[in-house]
Structure 1
Amino acid sequence: MSQMMSESAVQETCITPITDQNLEDQNIRDEKKVELTSDPYAYLDRCGFSSEKFKIEIRGLPKFYGIGELKKLLNSKLQLGSNKIKPPKKRSNWLYVCFRSDADRQAAIVALNGHTWKGSVLQAFEAKPAPDPLVNKRNHEMEDNVDGGEAKKLKVDDEKSLEERLRDSTTPLWNVTYCQQLEDKQKKVRSLLLSLSRDIVKANPTLAPWIKSQKAKHEGLPCELLPIRPSPVQDGYRNKCEFTVGLNEVTGEPTVGFRVGSYVRGFTGVGSVDCLKHVPQRMKEVAKLFEQFVRQSDLGVYNPETQEGNWRQLTVRLAHRTSQLMLIVGIHPQSLPDSSIDELKTGIRNFFQDGPERVGNVSSLYLQLIKKTMSGEEPPPLQHILGETHVLEELSGLRFRVSPQAFFQVNTPAAEVLYGAVAELAAPAPGAAVLDVCCGTGTIGLSLAQKTGQVLGIELSSQAVADAKENAALNQITNCEFFEGRAEDIMGSVISRVTGKDILATVDPPRPGLHQKALIQLRRAEKLKKLVFMSCDPKAAFKNFVDLARSSSKTFQGLPFVPVRAVAVDMFPHTVHCELVVLFERLDVTLHSQ
C-alpha cells in the first residue's frame, strides 16, 4: 500500500496541473507549429530582416554585362543602395535585386523602369520572396503522405542510411578507387581545355591559326596538358573544417558534424563526421569532445528555420606538421547578457584547459559571435580566450603563421605539390619580379622568393597581409613586400614598384575568379610576360581564361595571353574538385605568322 501511494505521489509530482494559462501556452505552441509547418513565408515576419522582403526583378538586361558593372549602375550611377544581387543559375536577361526597405525598393523600380543600359531598355517590378525551402520540403512530404502514402514517394536518397547520405554530400567519390578519381578529374580538365580553345577563337579570331597549330601538337588541346598530380595523402588530409552544430535527425541529439545536404534543399539535420575519409582523426576526436560540452550546456542548438538557439558551429584548424590545434566556437548570442557570454567563455576555456578533455591538446581557442544585421551576416568578431593567437605550419621547407580567418590551402602535403607545379610551369628568371595576386598569407610568393629577385603580394584581407609580413620575417626572407587592398584598386601602384625588367604574375583568386578590372590591369602591364593562374573551380574562372586571350582593344590593352601548359593537382581527394594550374604567355600573332 505504501509503495502504491509512493508511486501515486511520484506521478502527481510529474503531472502539470491543467490551467487556463497552460492551455493558452499550449495553443500558442500548436499555432506556431502549424505556422512553421504550412507557411513557407512565415520567416519574413519571424526572423527580422531578410533580403527577400524587398526584392525586385529586372528584365531586359543586355546580352553581355558583368555583375560588377551592374552594381556600379545601381549603387554608383543611380545611387539606389542595393543590398544583394541574385542572378539565376544559368545566364539570362533577368535577375533579382534586393534592398533594405520598401522605400528603397520603390525608388529602384521608378529609376530602373525604362532606363537604357548598354543599348537595352530595362524593366523593373516587385518580385515575390522565395519560399522557405525547409517548409516547402516539409509541405511536399505531407502532401505525398496524404495522396499516396509515404512508401510510394520515397526517393533513392531517403532509402540510404544517414552515414551514406553524409558521405555522398561531402565526399561524393568516397567509394571510387583513387586511380579512378584521378582519371575522371583529368578527363574533366581535358574537356574544359577543349572548350577553352573554341571560346578563345570566338573572342580573338586572329588566334585561330595558332590554336590550330597547338591542337595539332597537343592532341586537340590548345596547350600541353601534363598528367594530373596526385595528393600525397588521400585520407584525413584537411587542415581546416567548419563543423555545424545541429540536431541529429535520427537520434534528435545535439551533434557537431556536417549538415546532410543544404538548407536550400530543405535539410537541417546534422550527422557525425566519424565516417568521413577526408577529416583527420584528431579533428573527429575534438568534435566529439565539444559535442559533449554542448550536450551538457543549458544553451540550445541554433535552429536555422526559427533562428532560435545559440550553438552554431565549430571551426577547427590543425597544423599537421607542428600538431598545433586551433578551435573557433561560433554561437548566436541572441539576447544573452555580457555576463552570460563571459561565463560561457570561462566554461569553454576550463573545459579544454583543465578538465579531462585537455587530451584535445588545444593550443588556440576563440569565441565567435555570429548574428544577423540589416545587411545579413556580418563579419563575426572573434574573442581570444585561450593559448596562442595563431598556429604555425611548415610548408615547402618554410614556416607559416596562420591566423583564425586567414586563407591557407586545406591540404598541406598537396599544397607542396601545387607550389612545386607553379614553380615548374613558371620557370622564373633569377632577376624577375613576382606579382603575387590574391597572395593570402604569402605562401606562393615566399616559396618562389629564392628563385626571383623581387616578390610583391596583393591581398584584400588585412589579417592575411599581416601574416604574410610575419611569415617573411619568420623565414628571414627580405625581398618580399605585401600590400593590402583590392587587386583592381592597387595593382597599378604595386606594379610601379617593380625594379626589374620582367614580371611573372601568380594568380590564386577566390572560387569565382579574378575581378575583371584586375585582369584588365594585368593585360596593360607591359613588363608582364608570363602569368600562372591557379583555380580550384576552373569552370568559374573560365571567363578569366578567355578574357586573357581577347583581342587587343580599348578595354583589353596589350598583347593577349594564351595558354601554354597546364596541370591539375588533386587537392581534394574523394571529391569532384581539383586545382588547375595554367601557364599563360604573351603572344604577338604578327610575329608568329611570319
Structure 2
Amino acid sequence: MSRKMKNKVITNLKIEKIASEGKCLGYHDEKVVFVTGVAPGDVVDVRITKGKSSFMEGEPVKFHEYSKERIEPFCAHFGTCGGCKWQHINYDLQKTYKRQQVLDQFQRIAKVPIPEVMPTLGSEKTKYYRNKLDFTFSNKKWLTLDQIRSGEEFDRNALGFHIPKMFDKIIDIEHCYLQGNISNEVRNELRAFALENQITFYDIRNQVGLLRNLIIRTTSTGESMVIVQFGENDPESIKVVMEFLNQKFPEITSLIYVINLKGNETFHDLELVTFAGKDFIEEEMEGLKFRISPKSFYQTNSEQAYELYKVAREFAELKGDEVVYDLYTGTGTIANFVAKKAKQVIGIEYVEAAIEDAKLNSKLNGIANTLFYAGDMKEMLNEEFIANHAKPDLIITDPPRAGMDEKVVEMLLRLEAPKIVYVSCNPATQARDVALLAEKYDVVKIQPVDMFPQTYHVENVILLSRKAQ
C-alpha cells in the first residue's frame, strides 16, 4: 500500500482540522490524510509521502485557497527550520487548538470521564520567550534548491538548527525570534569570528572539527550563560575562541566550555570548564532564587513557568500540614515553590547535579522543610523508601515526555495519596498514565498551559482525586 501511494498527488484537498504533532488533516476516499505546513480551511494539492491502509501522510505542493485563519509568518526561516511550525496561525487560534489537543488525547487514550478542559492559559510573550537554545556548528549547511541550481559556490559552514529528519544538515540562522537578550548577537558574532579566522566547523559524519555546539541560557533577572562545545582537544584554539567571547561580551555571567569527543552532543558525563564568571546563573520567582548550573533542567519559558507552577499550587490546595512528594523534581523548583505551604516536601530526581542544585536552592532561600534524593525514579520510589519517610498527602509529578514508568504508576496506586497533581509536557503519555491511575483516581481538573507559542506543544496540569473507598 505504501509504495503504491507514495508520491501520488491528491488534488484540491480541503484541510478540515488540526491533528497531533502540528499536522492538519483532510479526508480522501474515506481515509484520513495528515498534512504538514497547512491550516484548517486551506485547499491544497498534496504529495503523499507515506501511505497506510487506514491513513496517509503528505506535504502541500500547491495552494488553491488559503484559510481565513492564516497570518503572515514573521520569520525568514519559517517552513525550513522546524522550530515554530504554527507561525502561520494566529495566537488565539493556537490556544484553541492546544486545548483541543488535550481533549482529543484524553478522549482517545485515557478513555475516562473528565471535567471540561479549561481554556489554554496563554503566554504573555509570543516571541523571545525561551531562556535556553542549542545551536549546532556544521560544515554541511543546508542549501535551498534555488541555491543549488544557481551553480554558485556557497560557504558550507553554518551555525543554527538541524533540518527536520536530516541529522547532518544545519540551517544557518540569521535571526531567531525564540530567544532575546544577547542570544542572536553571540551566535552571529561567534560565527563571523570563526569564519574570519578559519576555525573549523564540526563534521558530524567524520566527527572532526573544532566548533561543535553552542548553548545560550538567559534569565528574567538579566543573567546569561554561554556554553561552547568543542569537538577537538586543541587548547590553543579553544583559548582563542573563549577569549574572543569574553572580550566581546563581558556582560556574560557564566562563560563555560566543554571538550566533547563522543559521538553525541550530550555532556552530562563530561567535565565543564568555567572560563570566566560564575559556574551558574540565577533565576527568581516570587522572591525565591533558583540556581541553574550547566547540567540542570529549568523550564525554558521563565515567565510562563511561574504561571504553570501557580496552577500546580492552586490545584494542590495545601493547608500547611501536608507531606508532599515531588517526583522528577529537577532543580527543586516546584518543591521549593510549594514548601512554604507544606509540612514537608520530598523531591526525587534522576540527575544528581540537579539534586545538588535543589538542595542549594532550599538553602539559598532559607527553606528547611525539604529533602532531596537522586536516583532512578522506578528504583528509588519503593517500599523501603516509603517505610523510611512519611506517607504523602499529596504527590506532584512532572515527568519527561515519555511519562511515568509503569512501576512508578503502580507505586502511586499502592501509596493511595488523597491527591495527585500531574504536570506534563506530553498530554498523550499523561493520558496513558491516567488510564492506569483510573483504577483508584478520578480526574477533577484539567488546565492546559502554553509554554511554547508558535509551536504545537502544550503543557498540561491535571488534578487527580482518590476515589471514595
Give the TM-score of the pair, scaled to structure 2.
Answer: 0.77
Deviation at 1:547, TM superposition (A): 1.5
Q: What stretches of structure 1 move > 6 A for 4+ residues in a row?
A: none
1:427-481: CA deviations, max 9, x gaps? 1232011100000011101110111111000011111011001100111111111
**Does the CA-based 8 Å contact 1:513-1:540 persist in structure 2?**
yes
Q: Conserved in 2, the CA contact under 8 Å of 1:503 and 1:530? A: yes
Paired letter, 1:582 = I
- Contact map agreement 1:372 1:378 (CA 8 A) in 2: no
Q: Deviations over 1:264-315 (max 9, x none)?
A: 5xx60322150x3322142111111221232234442112233332321101
Tell me whether 304-313 or 404-413 shows the greater mean CA deviation. 304-313
Equivalent residue number for residue 227 of structure 1: 119
Q: Give the match's secondary structure for 2:396.
A: strand
Name whichever structure is richer in helix by fraction.
1
Please give the alpha-carbon distance, in whole angstroms, between the structure 2 residues aligned to 1:542 and 1:269. 35
Structure 1 residues 378 and 440: alpha-carbon distance in aligned structure 2, compared to 1, 3 A threshold: closer
- Corresponding residue of 1:548: 437
The code of the aligned residue for 2:120 comes to I
Identity of aligned residues (%): 28
Aligned residue in 2 for 1:311: 211
How far 1:178 moved relative to its partner?
Answer: 1.0
Q: 1:377 and 1:262, CA in 2 relative to 1: closer, same or farther beyond 3 A?
A: farther
On the 8 A contact 1:244/1:270 being kept in 2, the answer is no
Aligned match of 2:464: 584
1:322-337 matches, within 5 Å, as: 323-333=222-232, 336=233
User: Are the structure 2 counterparts of residues 197 and 162 from structure 1 closer, same or farther at C-alpha, using a change threshold of 3 Å?
Assistant: closer
CA contact (8 A) 2:99 2:117 kept: no
> Using a 3 Å threshold, how does the CA distance of structure 1 residues 156 and 328 change in structure 2: closer, same or farther?
farther
Paired letter, 1:318: T
Q: Distance in 1 between matches of 2:78 and 2:380?
A: 47
Alignment of 1:17-56 (within 5 A): none
Question: 2-side partners of 1:536 and 1:229: how far apart?
Answer: 14
Q: 2:195 aligns with which of 292, 295, 299?
A: 295
CA drift of 1:231 comes to 1.1
Matched residues in 2 for 1:155 and 1:507: separation?
40
Amino acid at match of 1:272: I
CA distance in 1, matches of 2:401, 2:174: 25
User: Is 1:254 matched up with 2:168?
Assistant: no
Take 2:285 and 2:61, find their aligned partners in 1: how far apart are those partners? 43
Work out the CA distance in 2 between the residues paired with 1:231 and 1:176.
15
SS at match of 1:291: helix
CA distance in 2, matches of 1:503, 1:294: 55
Paired residues of 2:106 and 2:431 also in contact (CA < 8 A): no
* TM-superposed deviation, 1:241: 0.3
**Unpaired segments ≥5 residues, structure 1:** 1-153, 201-210, 212-221, 551-559
Quick one: which amino acid aligns to residue 387 of structure 2?
S
Q: Aligned to 1:539, what secondary structure does the other structure show? A: helix
- In structure 1, what is the Cα distance between the partners aligned to 2:238 and 2:116? 55
What is the rounded CA distance, in whole Å, between the counterparts of 2:453 and 2:164 in structure 1?
Answer: 19
Structural RMSD (CA)? 2.5
Checking the alignment, whether the CA contact within 8 Å between 2:106 and 2:428 is kept in structure 1 is no
Q: Distance in 2 between matches of 1:495 and 1:456?
A: 11
Shift of 1:370: 2.2
What is the alpha-carbon distance in structure 1 between the residues aligned to residue 237 and residue 253 of structure 2? Answer: 19
What is the CA–CA distance in structure 1 between the aligned matches of 2:213 and 2:421, rounded to whole Å? 36
Give the Cα separation in 2 of the matches to 1:286 and 1:421: 35
> 3-state DSSP class of the match of 2:213?
strand
Distance 1:305 1:346 in 2: 26
Verify the 8 A CA contact 1:258 1:273 in the aligned structure 2: no
- Residue number in structure 2 paired with 1:177: 90
| Structure 1 position 332, deviation (Å) | 1.4
Asked if residue 278 in structure 1 is aligned to residue 178 in structure 2, the reply is yes
Secondary structure in 1 aligned to 2:297? coil
Q: Distance in 2 between matches of 1:585 and 1:478?
A: 28
Equivalent position of 1:348 in the other structure: 241
Q: In the TM superposition, what is the alpha-carbon distance from 1:423 to its structure 2 partner?
A: 1.0
Q: Name the CA shift for 1:401/1:235 in 2 (closer, same or farther; >3 Å).
A: same
Q: Say whether the 8 Å CA contact 2:230–2:259 is kept in structure 1.
A: yes
Shift of 1:541: 3.2
Q: 338, 342, 347: which one pairs with 1:448?
A: 338
Distance, in Å, in 1 between the alignment partners of 2:452 and 2:262 is: 32
Whole-angstrom CA distance in 2 between matches of 1:232 and 1:507? 25
Alignment partners' CA distance in 1, 2:447 and 2:263: 43
1:464 aligns with 2:344: no
Relative contact order (alpha carbons < 8 A, sep ≥ 6): 1 or 2 greater? 2
1: CA distance between counterparts of 2:386 and 2:124? 36
Question: What is aligned with 2:374?
Answer: 484
* Cα distance in 2 between the residues matched to 1:522 and 1:178: 37
Question: Residues of 2 paired with 1:440 and 1:328: CA distance?
Answer: 20
Show the counterpart of 2:420. 531
The match for 1:163 among 60, 77, 102 is 77
Per the TM alignment, residue 253 of structure 1 is displaced from its structure 2 partner at its CA by 4.6
Match of 1:108 in 2: none
Whole-Å separation in 1 of the counterparts to 2:375 and 2:269: 17
CA distance in 1, matches of 2:420, 2:116: 16
Q: What amino acid does structure 2 have at the position aligned with 1:227?
A: P
- Aligned equivalent of 1:242, options 121, 134, 140: 134
Whether the 8 Å CA contact 2:297–2:354 is kept in 1: the answer is yes
The change in CA–CA distance for 1:191 and 1:401 in structure 2 (over 3 A counts) is same
Please give the per-residue CA displacement for 1:150-203, whole angstroms capped at 9, x wherever unaligned: xxxx9849xx99723345x110111221111111111111212222452x4xxx
2:86 is paired with a residue whose SS is coil
Aligned to 2:54: none
Q: How far, CA to CA, are the matches of 1:320 and 1:174 in structure 2?
A: 24
Of 271, 289, 293 in structure 2, the residue corresponding to residue 399 of structure 1 is: 289
Between 176-185 and 404-413, report the one with greater CA deviation: 176-185
Are the counterparts in 1 of residues 319 and 342 from structure 2 also a CA contact under 8 Å? Answer: yes
> Out of 347, 358, 374, which is 2:249 matched to?
358
Q: Closer, same or farther in 2 for the Cα pair 1:373/1:184, shift >3 Å?
A: closer
Partner amino acid, structure 2, of 1:521: M
> Once the 2 structures are TM-superposed, how far is the Cα of residue 523 of structure 1 from its aligned partner?
1.3
Q: In 1, Cα distance between the equivalents of 2:170 and 2:306?
A: 36
How many angstroms does 1:372 deviate by? 2.9
Normalization by structure 1: what TM-score?
Answer: 0.61
C-alpha distance in 2 between matches for 1:281 and 1:304: 29
